[in-house]
Amino acid sequence: MVILETRERCVIFSIVNNVIHIEFYNKDNFPPGKWMSEPDLCYWESELPCLAIRDMKLGIWKGFVAIDDSHPFHGKTVEELFKLPGILHVFHAVYGGLCGVGHLLVPKYKEFAKNHWWIGIETSHGEDLMPLLKLDTSDPNMAKMTSNQTYKDLRFIRREINKLARVVSNYKCQ
């Protein structure tokens, strides 16, 4: 394994875990927690290119797989995807189902974006802990609701994205 560090990011090349790029962002506004020691962007290749990005407004993970224009999902909206045969298998194969599709337009992700169409999931569902979501925990109902929440970490999102990559790469229009 080779680790290259710069002031702004750490890049890891590893055959063992397939991670080829990670970055750490400034988390000064985050409360203490497991997320503080995690990177905030992780790129790897599985059956398809995969990308996990921390949403810096909620502190949650979003994960994506990339497809090229030869794939039947390319260029389709979520609504259009739901009209395809067998799509429910893809939707239910991963945590929370598909949450979005499209190009990565954020300039800092241009290195990964290429001309791919990205299919994504996220960890902002009912029982997901969102580190930056400000809730009034003095309210007993809110405190009870948040006590059951769990943080979905980088390992979790990578596992789900790898599942999505397998299912999407094996999808055939019937």
Q: Give the tokens for residue 132.
A: 């930056």
Q: What is the pLDDT of residues 110-129, one digit of tens each?
A: 777 778 999 999 999 988 98
Is pLDDT of 9 > 60? Answer: no
Q: What is the pLDDT of residues 54-93, one digit of tens each?
A: 999 999 999 999 999 999 999 999 999 999 988 888 888 8
What is each CA distance from 12 to 4, 41, 69, 153, in whole angstroms? 7, 12, 29, 19
Is pLDDT of 17 > 80? Answer: no
Q: What is the pLDDT of residues 27-44, one digit of tens each?
A: 999 999 999 999 999 999
Residues 6+ apart with CB under 8 A from 146: 129, 135, 137
Least confident of 1-10, 107-116, 132-141, 144-153: 1-10
Is pLDDT of 140 > 80? Answer: no
Q: Note the pTM of the prediction, 2 decimals.
A: 0.83
